[in-house]
Structure 1
């Protein structure tokens, strides 16, 4: 279906649900400007209808609606079901006689037991034939609910069950239904459907993958653009921080002392600038809530969400890498050359994409704000310690810190790539020159390659572009991990909830 037809269908559905006067109204407006409870209910129904599902579950769709609106909404649902060959299963609260007549089939449950399941228009015969006739001029649905209601046993026994208790009456009706012709017909019909239409039931009605990605990318980009706290505030903070960083290391020079200063600057850039991406964690948590609700409703697949999030966030992350990065690079006076700055900004971009993906993974597993921040910051702290700056690679303890953490921490590739980008091709005066020596009359200099090999213990067997390629490969791997986590987290959510509440000291039972 083309986008124009989808838009036309959406507008038609909105009008048929009586929402044409609220088409330009914000759902969560201030004061009296927002939608009413009944209108919000109809909007939620419209959202489900637009996906054209073959099977639609509605939990009390008429809640908050008056009797006229309830009939109108349910009548429209029946028309849609016929038009799109849709099956609708709804639990409904105290339907009027008009609304009850719209239902083709009826299922009555009491304490998990099936009291009746069959055509709604002949349910009265079942109750009448088993000693519970519906009184004249009474809504049949009210009579059925009163008969099988167990909340007020003492009062209900005297009014509806004659000489039987509520439990006895329900058990009697359950036995009667199991032995009835209606029950046998239902079992036979279900068996036929399972055999004949098994493949038909598996067919979906989702939009294709490309359409899902395009729509989600546009929506995600608009949300990021409008939300000041998502990227704009972070951009402002990065500009302020990089301006401060540039002023601290202003005009760093090319003396021997600048070797350590350049290394510290590059380490700070790859570590503490990128770790600030956790500032977007609250927005990530909200994105995960929306994704989980929409995925469970069958709107799109996890892969579409991952692709759209990657594409929509890339322009903002690129801006954060280029603008603050240019400020720091120019103020400090790092190695000149367009290729050197491009590598610097690209490394910063890759690191921020890695941190964002890591925090998205954490947000999908731990939706609790405090737990998520602690977990994400803790993981990155361990990676920074093993990256090869605070403790040089050859000096790292072999167990855990060097094998495997040093090789899987992205900071290692960021540090080494930035060091190569800065020191290769430069020369610095050796330490003894600064001591006023010069005994032999010749100036002693140390090449950048020697600094990389002997001072920073950088692996020189491959170029800096290989380090950058490793960073972007890790971005792809982290995104794949996010996809796997999104696809499997629902199975382990009960366990995750128990762990979260254990650490938070809560004893609420799920």
Structure 2
């Protein structure tokens, strides 16, 4: 057929078609009838060209991009054929790049660092690091980011670069790998007219030179930017008003009675004609709603419509499997780069560990002074128990304070995973390794303050175990909060959920009610045995009480009252059949289990997303 020679000559690119595409949304609460967002939309995108998707706010531009990229929300379904090179293929997880409306960036990195780390994660190992840095600098210069290359991106807690600069950073991070298929959701958002023109000029030149297929939603471009695009997809409230070359759009509107005035921006004229939010009479003859319906019907009977149908048919007839893009960097490289990036982020983000360290030091200083002067009298038994339970329960409870940072990490992971930066295993491993030094610091320094101020057993080996147990407990609680962050990606709901889980763990840990007093169903079996507080308390108690003898007066004149072993066995009902090191080992094992659960949850969500796209 007529289009085949051109398709064959550029078969290595991404030829995307969609035919009779419907997208519906269901209200999951009311379970009402699915409501259509897109209705019978047909079009295509070719290598080396940029397709502009335009329309009024709420017309379905972003939904169209999400549907084509395989990123629809769980309450949305699509019907119709979406084919890549004539075949149904998943476009998420590395087969395409997507820059969404929200710029999800690591706020503690500089502009140059963010783009350089993107290059390290996506470009092949065969490319030297110096060349990757050179490419990152080249993209920064092309996007006009030279003046802010060394500035912190900023966001939730830091303020630095502007919204328009953030938008360009997001684009740079995706185009640096030269993807075959690129989706841009309002790439000019936050940019002035000059900035919009320069950014889009570079993107269009990039598409033409690299043979990249680009689909971009544009809200309201100026005339210079509008003329840069190759093709236009014009939507109005889910209906297709026009699809075809940008140069033919004015002819189409003029032919059907809506010519663009000579001194008006064509894109402004088209959007004004098909915007039904404000009821205006067009050309003094027809209402906006009637104009939209008329243009939709006119397009379906037009020559442009027939040309689109023919072109979609030609592309679909020429089937070729685009090789699924897998990460070109090794697992080790991904893990090392992610660990380094995460380590820097944790250091610079005040709320991650630095603020917690300061609070821990203050609390532990107060705690040590409060229990200062512990001796071997009977009165010190209760004081030791209360202080150790506070450390095991309430001090580790403050790990919830890092939850907002965990949520931000998960947002970045989901975006970068969908764009194929790295795998789930590399993320989980790097997140674990990078956090360990900081957890070690916030365990040992505050722990040492409390331990020696209060007068617990002064021998160094007992302090080492105390600090290791505190470190293991904090690491375990943080692992649990990462699981919560992967399931409940909302600050307030996540903190409430995490607080509830930790409260249950503390209540069933054998202190507030001894093990023999716990109700056997649920409270003792299984809660007592799966609560991390059980093994934290037992480890602290064994470390402190084993080998001690307590008197009811001073050591020289008082009578011997209790051995530490008797207190453990009879009063605290601690399992003395195994050593304190076994309690520590159990906590370390629970950390591994929690991290594995974290990995499985993320992987299951990923598999479900892939399967749901195939079913839709």
CA separation of 1:121 and 1:351: change in aligned 2, threshold 3 A: same
Contact 2:196 2:225 (8 Å CA) reproduced: yes
Distance apart, 1:9 and its partner CA: 1.1
Contact 1:150 1:166 (8 Å CA) reproduced: no
- Which has the higher Rg, Structure 1 or Structure 2? 1
CA separation of 1:326 and 1:296: change in aligned 2, threshold 3 A: same
From 502, 508, 513, the counterpart of 1:380: 502
Distance apart, 1:382 and its partner CA: 1.7
For the residues of structure 2 that align with 1:178 and 1:349, how far apart are their CA atoms?
71
For the residues of structure 1 that align with 2:607 and 2:327, how far apart are their CA atoms?
24
Q: For structure 1, list consecutive stretches of 5 or more residues without a partner in the other structure.
A: 439-443, 494-510
Distance apart, 1:141 and its partner CA: 4.7
Question: What does residue 301 of structure 2 align with?
Answer: 176
SS of the aligned residue for 1:196 comes to coil
From 277, 281, 294, the counterpart of 1:155: 281
More moved, 449-458 vs 396-405: 449-458
Question: What does residue 323 of structure 1 align with?
Answer: 445
Question: What does residue 519 of structure 2 align with?
Answer: 397
CA separation of 1:427 and 1:19: change in aligned 2, threshold 3 A: closer
From 314, 331, 337, the counterpart of 1:215: 337
Distance apart, 1:240 and its partner CA: 3.0
Question: What does residue 182 of structure 2 align with?
Answer: 56
For the residues of structure 2 that align with 1:50 and 1:274, how far apart are their CA atoms?
42
Question: What does residue 203 of structure 2 align with?
Answer: 77
From 320, 332, 352, the counterpart of 1:196: 320
Distance apart, 1:392 and its partner CA: 1.2
Question: What does residue 422 of structure 1 align with?
Answer: 544
CA separation of 1:26 and 1:421: change in aligned 2, threshold 3 A: closer
SS of the aligned residue for 1:475 comes to helix
1:467 matches 2:583: yes
SS of the aligned residue for 1:102 comes to coil
For the residues of structure 2 that align with 1:168 and 1:386, how far apart are their CA atoms?
65
Contact 1:206 1:299 (8 Å CA) reproduced: no
Matched positions, count:
479
Question: What does residue 497 of structure 1 align with?
Answer: none
For the residues of structure 2 that align with 1:437 and 1:120, how far apart are their CA atoms?
98
Which is strand-richer, 1 or 2? 2
Distance apart, 1:120 and its partner CA: 4.0
What is the TM-score of this pair, normalised by structure 2? 0.67
Contact 1:147 1:160 (8 Å CA) reproduced: no
SS of the aligned residue for 1:388 comes to coil
Distance apart, 1:345 and its partner CA: 0.9
For the residues of structure 1 that align with 2:387 and 2:461, how far apart are their CA atoms?
19
Q: For structure 2, list consecutive stretches of 5 or more residues without a partner in the other structure.
A: 1-123, 610-616
For the residues of structure 2 that align with 1:269 and 1:66, how far apart are their CA atoms?
54
Distance apart, 1:131 and its partner CA: 7.1
For the residues of structure 1 that align with 2:316 and 2:523, how far apart are their CA atoms?
59
CA separation of 1:72 and 1:453: change in aligned 2, threshold 3 A: same
Distance apart, 1:347 and its partner CA: 0.8
CA separation of 1:144 and 1:429: change in aligned 2, threshold 3 A: closer
Distance apart, 1:114 and its partner CA: 2.5
For the residues of structure 2 that align with 1:67 and 1:50, how far apart are their CA atoms?
24
1:113 matches 2:239: yes
For the residues of structure 2 that align with 1:430 and 1:152, how far apart are their CA atoms?
86
